[in-house]
Amino acid sequence: MKNRKVLFFLRHYNDIDHIVPVIWKLRTDTDIPVTIVLSSNKEKLFDYRIQFVHSLEGVDIFLLDDFLTDDELEQKDKLDKARKTNHLISKLPVYHPRRVMRKIRNLLFGMPQLIDPEAKSDQIANRIIKKTMQGVDKGLVVFDWISDNMVHYLKFAEQICGLARKEGYKTISLPHGDEPHYCKMIRRDELNYDATDIYSRAKDLFDYVVVPNQLCAERYLPHMAADRVPVLGSPRFNDEWIRCLHNMIPAHKVSGANDKIKILFFLRHFLYPLFWDEIVRTLDLITQFPNIYLIVVHHTRGENLNNLIKRYPGLRPRHDGNLEIVAGDIHSSALLQWADVVLDVGTSIVFEAVKMNKPVLELEYLHATYTTISHYMKGTVMLCRDHLYNTISMFSNNADYQFYDEGERQEFIQEVIDIRDPDILDRYVDFLISQI
């Protein structure tokens, strides 16, 4: 048998969330070895999902830094420090002597002489392919979904995929997420459809772009033939992986919440059109119920979280009374197991709650988009404060309140998560084997 291998590139925690289930199933059901290349963030090595698949035989894991020379690592370290300093300088008041500060920065870090490793990404890509795919006759190279607004990553992916094709390997894109929105203009500053059409480069990068459902396929079908966009179901929210996750994650416990109805609220990244003033008021509305305990979770990639909190102090991480606001350092699956009711403003995390038959309240009055769950399950829609207040009152008086229309819930599961049947990860493995 010819030597076979699959090389996976994982960029963000979203990729880990949605692609690791496929890696686990591939290694569990086949003898095909796997190499994973992570971004340079060493913290990802300690992610419990990465450690889980690393414990499997036949899985090797590298950081991008592992493919840099000593000189390049030194230059990268200096560049990182210079960028951080430059970021701090950019936040200074306009009257501050920024030119003086930049001169100090350049003296400290030698900014004009620095060589950005991104400028040598073609050499780095070549090293990665040579080191990880040496002796491989039949190979696959797998990335997550990539769009035109990811400029640096797009360039790197183009170089890797070009080298892979020269070696005769197939290039495949696996899901970075699901589609929590039923509308197209989902980001804060998207005011026309031109801004949403950012997926055209996929047709040149990948032989196939795999998606969990038809909603996600709509992103790519204007640019690619339908047979290059397989719809295989959700690798993250299928029953098999949810059971695996729940066995892997310790239960989340909160003192003082045992006798109360436990509500979980996932916030979104600042790039999405949320009405933050009204979100703060909504927290006040909910916490007036004495038998409610509310945990609010900031987005895991909240780069500008501090700026958001400065503008809306009511969103600062804290733990007081029956309200706890956390900065995304507790895994969502553990929190979902803890919760009785989940509040949403447009994140696919809550799909897991639907699979667990836990009520999801779609707070449509808090954002400018239209969520997928709202489209499929009309009873989940909260159009105003009154809707939310009355629904929480019902849960407050009857914790066993039957929330879902089961027919609507099953339609959502069939069309958005399971597609044909619940054996989703089997389909992913079968597809990868057919390409290798």
Question: Which tens digits make up the pLDDT trace of 112-162?
Answer: 344 444 557 789 999 999 999 999 999 999 999 887 666 778 888 999 999
> Into how many domains does the chain fold?
2
Same domain, 407 and 430: no
Bridge partners (DSSP) of residue 107 are: none
Tell me: pLDDT of 2 over 80: no
Same domain, 340 and 427: no
Please tell me the distance from the alpha carbon of residue 343 to that of residue 381, in angstroms, as a whole number.
Answer: 10
List the domain range (segments joined by +) for residue 282: 252-417
Same domain, 389 and 431: no
More confident residue, 406 or 94: 406
Same domain, 227 and 263: no
Same domain, 37 and 132: yes
Region 26-43: mean pLDDT is 93
| C-alpha closest to that of 163 among 192, 132, 190 | 132
DSSP 125-178: HHHHHHHHSTT-SEEEEEE----TT-HHHHHHHHHHHHHHHHTT-EEEE--S--
Same domain, 278 and 410: yes
Q: Which of 25-29, 291-295, 397-401 has the lowest mean pLDDT?
A: 397-401
For 82-95, write each residue's pLDDT tens digit. 766 665 555 555 44
Same domain, 403 and 429: no
Secondary structure (3-state) at 330: coil
Please tell me the distance from the alpha carbon of residue 199 to that of residue 220, in angstroms, as a whole number.
Answer: 6
Same domain, 307 and 408: yes
| C-alpha closest to that of 324 among 249, 403, 254 | 254
Please tell me the distance from the alpha carbon of residue 151 to that of residue 143, in angstroms, as a whole number.
Answer: 15
Q: Residue 367 falls within a domain, yes or no? A: yes
For 307-334, write each residue's pLDDT tens digit. 889 999 999 999 989 999 998 778 899 9
How much is the pLDDT for 88?
Answer: 57
Q: Residue 369 falls within a domain, yes or no? A: yes
Name the pTM for this structure.
Answer: 0.89
CATH number, domain containing residue 281: 3.40.50.2000
How much is the pLDDT for 112?
Answer: 38
Residue 154, Ramachandran bin (φ over 0: left; ψ between -120 and 50: alpha; else beta):
alpha
How much is the pLDDT for 76?
Answer: 77
Bridge partners (DSSP) of residue 140 are: 6, 170
How much is the pLDDT for 198?
Answer: 78
The structure tokens 């913290």 sit at 43
- Contact status, residue 26 vs residue 4, Cβ threshold 8 Å: no
Same domain, 180 and 47: yes
Secondary structure (3-state) at 238: coil
- Contact status, residue 247 vs residue 281, Cβ threshold 8 Å: no
More confident residue, 196 or 304: 304
Neighbours of 225 (CB within 10 A): 9
Q: What is the largest CA-CA distance in the chain?
A: 69
For 220-262, write each residue's pLDDT tens digit. 999 999 999 999 999 999 999 999 999 998 888 888 888 899 9
- Contact status, residue 284 vs residue 315, Cβ threshold 8 Å: no
Tokens of 411: 């339609």
Same domain, 45 and 62: yes
Bridge partners (DSSP) of residue 323 are: 294, 320
- Dihedral angle of Cα 254, 260, 261, 263, to the nearest 10 degrees: -40
Tell me: pLDDT of 345 over 90: yes
Q: Which of 249-253, 258-262, 285-289, 302-306 has the lowest mean pLDDT?
A: 302-306
- Contact status, residue 201 vs residue 146, Cβ threshold 8 Å: yes
| C-alpha closest to that of 233 among 418, 23, 16 | 418
More confident residue, 259 or 211: 211
Burial class (CB within 10 angstroms; exposed 0-12, middle 13-18, buried 19+) of 128: buried
How much is the pLDDT for 110?
Answer: 45
How much is the pLDDT for 107?
Answer: 47
Burial class (CB within 10 angstroms; exposed 0-12, middle 13-18, buried 19+) of 221: middle
Distance of CA 26 to the CA centre of its chain: 21
Exposure b/e, 51-72, CB count within 10 A at least 16 = b: ebbeeeeebebebbbebbeeeb
Q: Residue 238 falls within a domain, yes or no? A: no
More confident residue, 363 or 107: 363
How much is the pLDDT for 216?
Answer: 95
Please tell me the distance from the alpha carbon of residue 45 to that of residue 60, in angstroms, as a whole number.
Answer: 12
Q: Residue 57 falls within a domain, yes or no? A: yes
Tokens of 266: 């996932």
Tell me: pLDDT of 347 over 50: yes
Q: Residue 112 falls within a domain, yes or no? A: no
- Contact status, residue 237 vs residue 217, Cβ threshold 8 Å: no
Q: pLDDT-derived band of residue 111, with 50, 70 and 90 as boundaries?
A: very low
Tokens of 183: 């509308």
How much is the pLDDT for 113?
Answer: 42
- Contact status, residue 411 vs residue 376, Cβ threshold 8 Å: yes
Same domain, 151 and 263: no
Q: Residue 260 falls within a domain, yes or no? A: yes
Residue 357, Ramachandran bin (φ over 0: left; ψ between -120 and 50: alpha; else beta):
left
Same domain, 259 and 219: no
